[in-house]
Amino acid sequence: MWVTDNATAAPTPAGPVPAAAVDNTPWSLPSMPKFCSSTAMTAGDVANCLLDGPDGRPETRGWPLPPFPTPTDATSVPWTDLALGAAGARVMTMQKALVTAGYNVTPDGQFGAVTETIVRRFQVDQSLPETGIADAATAGALGILETGGGTFPPTGWKWLGWAYNGSPALVEWENLLVGNAKAIGRIATKQLRSLPEALPLFEGFARDMVSGGYTITDVGTYAFRCTSNSRKDCDGQTRSQMSNHAYGLALDLNTAANPELTYRGVNGASACATPLKSDIPLWLVRAAEKWGLYWGGYGWNGGCTSPTQVKASVLRDTMHFEFRGTPAQAKAIAAFNASGAAPSNFVGAPVVVEAPKAPYTKTCLAVADDAGTVTQRCLAPDEVPSAGVRTVIDTKAPAGATAAVVNITLTGATSAGYVTAEPCTAKSGDRTSSNGNATPGITSANLSVVPVDASGRFCLYQSQPVETIVDVQGFFLPASAAAGGGNLLTSVAPQRVIDTRTQTFCLSSGTCGKKGPVAANTEVMLGTTAVPANAVAMLANLTITGPTGPGYVTADSCASLVAGPQTRSNTNFNAGSTVANLAVVPTTGTDSGSQICTYTSATTQKAVDVQGYFAPAAAGGWGFSSLASQRLLDTRQCDAASTCTPAAAQSIVRVQGPVGASAALVNLTLTGAKQAGYATADKCSALTAGPQTKSNGNMSTSTIVANVAVVPLDPDGSFCVYVSEATHLVVDLQGTFSPADPLRFVPVTPVRRHDSREFNS
């Protein structure tokens, strides 16, 4: 994650004071300052006032007009007039377009007298007949005429799950944008991207955040998409729904701690008096306003001027800061703040006085270049391992080990990317398989079995700047090198051990009988007769759904899992998400099978599906063969004679695996889903059509999701994957299991062996 260092920046006029001298209490009941006068906006002296104009889309204020993903070969849908008394979604769309165009109307979906008056005013301003009826001409002027059919996204547009950044259709547009040339605290170079006139505003705000000691976990500006309260991919939307992020005129900050929420009044009180969920203090908002940035925490559609204003509900976006002015005003603000003159009306924090820099302990990593030469590289305080880095991971494997079972966690990504676990020998170019996917604002984890060299090492290649964490869960060795001959895998028909949404669970203390959600910082004990008492580890899929905040889950034997914050993890999640990850969990034998314990750092529901277990070789089972990762399927790839289409909703996709094996160890990646759903993998002869009772991965509309699975194979080596919603499916083979495969499993108490964030806080 992005974390600020303890050093302060050079003095900045009217900026925040060092962290020790400011009040970092979140501003839970904000009041707007007065609006900036035209004189103040022209002069650039906007501290302690709110810059909120002129109205309209950015292009109406002098900014360039971006392209828009209009469906290819779309047809116009005949417009039905809207008039006094109409109601519904189309009325709300019209009202939102009027607000975007600078007219004061509440988007409530009701065409009342106020809306009619505003429509008349808009028609007069557009030289249209003043009827008060939203006819086709009025809808066209508002940009809300509907289209149907056609191909979406159109040619040249590639949806990444969160934005269209990097699409061929955006080359000319993105050439207009500029990025910060120097790192700012833990904000990497070019992480802030905007139009040239506006970039200094976001850079100045970032410097104030760092010098004031505010802890930044994630921050981003440019993301070419529609608004978060519409369809972000712009499917079915009009230009009126374009987000200010698409222009680089908005910044999102610490997204997990500052969610966009609709607040409602409690016990009859106004919604404006409902405290915000946020980690942003008052001084930080004042710093943003000094740079002309409007805070989404005040609310949209007029927001709340103060906690005493009466509103039934208000949509607040506390992560969001945006610039609503013109290019000329942006230049004036940047010039004024750079002049060193104290703003005449600024009553916020005093000028920064540079404090002595705290001692800094560098993070030093062993890295391999394309030729396989290993050297030491020490990171600067504000540096994140960059794209193309191959970090050498020392798993501390026992002698004779040829593969390690590791959990790879990715965090702090500034753009979408992936990591690949590979030998540290010569290697260059893009990788053809992956062991995890990085998404901005998301911390994700994925289990992998990776080959290691004679020294117990492998390399982790990353396609984009991202922090990487590796936890070791066990090793595979030849039988001759494994104590007692090692352990073999026995596959079981996937069985749900617990689902706290519908079942009661037991705490590690022995207290039982309560249904979920499981409270934060709680250790839950899970037992199953499907895993015998002589097992050394359980193969289990851990699913988290509906968490109240960001956090992680750690699984281990109940004897080893000590209550309280953990030093390693099996899966990570954000508020409201559904995520899954396979885990190899050491077990404790009981009179009725085996048990494990799980610790959860945030309140959430959880489900655990057991898929198999490792037990002493004398009991029989399957050995393992580790393979160089190879791609078996990628529905995004196609030849000139075919069309790249995702797997359809509720479809079963056949995948050809290795012939002669009993099961395949595969990494399933789900991307491009437009609906949340799940995927289930099994041998084709066992997978029936229709909704499944188990899952191997959960898809999301905003992230690329990967999860490892051990999938039984039919005699011809094939297996099948059921997807509940339309999605692209990528399958990478990591190894095979069969009675003839030579490697045996040896578990270890899970231990963290690598964390690129160490010493960087």
Which residue has tokens 């208000």?
314
Residue 317 lies in a domain: yes
Of 676, 675, 677, 653, nearest to 666 by C-alpha is: 653
How far, in Å, CA of 519 to CA of 505, rounded? 12
Q: Is the pLDDT of residue 341 over 70?
A: no
Q: Which two tokens stand for residue 701?
A: 């509309």
* pLDDT value for 393: 95
Residue 649 lies in a domain: no
> Residue 639 — pLDDT band, cuts 50, 70, 90?
low
**Which range of residues forms the domain containing residue 94?**
78-145
> Residue 362 — pLDDT band, cuts 50, 70, 90?
low
Residue 674 lies in a domain: no
How far, in Å, CA of 659 to CA of 663, rounded? 10
* pLDDT value for 231: 83
The CATH number covering residue 87 comes to: 1.10.101.10
Structure confidence by residue, pLDDT tens digits, 88-144: 778 888 887 887 777 877 777 788 888 898 999 889 888 888 899 999 999 888 878
43: number of Cβ within 10 Å: 17
Same-domain pairing of 41 and 58: yes
How far, in Å, CA of 702 to CA of 574, rounded? 12
Domain boundary residue, one of 91, 122, 145: 145
Which strands form 219-220's sheet, in the order they lie side by side?
219-220, 250-253, 320-323, 293-295
How far, in Å, CA of 653 to CA of 80, rounded? 42
Same-domain pairing of 172 and 315: yes
How far, in Å, CA of 297 to CA of 257, rounded? 12
184: number of Cβ within 10 Å: 25
Alpha-carbon Rg of the chain, whole angstroms?
28
* pLDDT value for 17: 38
* pLDDT value for 149: 67
Q: Which two tokens stand for residue 387?
A: 């794209």
Same-domain pairing of 231 and 376: no
Could you tell me the pTM of the whole model? 0.52
HEC string of 1-41 equals CCCCCCCCCCCCCCCCCCHHHCCCCECCCCCCCCECCHHHH
How far, in Å, CA of 517 to CA of 546, rounded? 9
85: number of Cβ within 10 Å: 9
- Cα angle 476, 482, 486; round to 5: 75
How far, in Å, CA of 33 to CA of 157, rounded? 41
Q: Is the pLDDT of residue 53 over 70?
A: no
Structure confidence by residue, pLDDT tens digits, 480-539: 988 788 999 998 887 889 999 999 999 887 788 888 899 988 899 999 999 999 999 999
Higher pLDDT, 2 or 623: 623
Same-domain pairing of 128 and 262: no
Same-domain pairing of 135 and 175: no
Residue 696 lies in a domain: no
Q: Is the pLDDT of residue 381 over 80?
A: no
Residue at 572: amino acid letter? N
Q: List strand residue ranges (DSSP E) for 112-249, in order.
A: 147-148, 178-179, 193-194, 219-220
How far, in Å, CA of 604 to CA of 606, rounded? 6
* pLDDT value for 729: 93
Enumerate helices (H) and strands (E) in the chain, giving the number of each: 8, 39
- Cα(first)–Cα(last) distance of the chain, in Å? 10
How far, in Å, CA of 440 to CA of 55, rounded? 30
Same-domain pairing of 160 and 137: no
492 sits in the region (left: phi over 0; alpha: psi -120 to 50; else beta) called beta
Same-domain pairing of 58 and 93: no
* pLDDT value for 12: 27
Number of domains the chain is built from: 3
Structure confidence by residue, pLDDT tens digits, 386-399: 999 999 999 999 99
Structure confidence by residue, pLDDT tens digits, 419-456: 999 999 999 888 988 898 898 888 899 999 999 999 99
Domain boundary residue, one of 145, 165, 198: 145
Structure confidence by residue, pLDDT tens digits, 173-226: 999 999 999 999 889 999 999 999 999 999 999 999 998 889 998 899 999 999
Residue at 114: amino acid letter? V
Number of alpha carbons in the 13 Å side-chain half-sphere of residue 186: 27
Same-domain pairing of 364 and 382: yes
Q: Is the pLDDT of residue 229 over 80?
A: no
Q: Residues 234, 158: contact at Cβ < 8 Å? A: no
Query: For 503, which DSSP code?
Result: S
Same-domain pairing of 512 and 602: yes
Residue 499 lies in a domain: yes
Same-domain pairing of 403 and 533: yes
Structure confidence by residue, pLDDT tens digits, 253-265: 999 899 988 888 8
List of residues 6+ apart from 743 with CB closer than 8 A: 402, 403, 476, 477, 478, 486, 623, 624, 625, 626
Q: Residues 585, 594: contact at Cβ < 8 Å? A: no
Residue at 295: amino acid letter? W
Q: Residues 44, 37: contact at Cβ < 8 Å? A: no
Residue 316 lies in a domain: yes
Residue 682 lies in a domain: no
Residue 702 lies in a domain: no
Same-domain pairing of 140 and 171: no
Burial 92-102 (b: 16+ CB within 10 A, else e): bbbbbbbbbbe
Same-domain pairing of 206 and 113: no
Q: Is the pLDDT of residue 249 over 80?
A: yes
* pLDDT value for 148: 64
Structure confidence by residue, pLDDT tens digits, 543-597: 999 999 889 999 998 888 877 778 788 999 888 888 888 999 999 888 889 999 9
Structure confidence by residue, pLDDT tens digits, 711-749: 999 999 999 999 999 999 999 998 999 999 999 999 888
Domain boundary residue, one of 129, 145, 161: 145
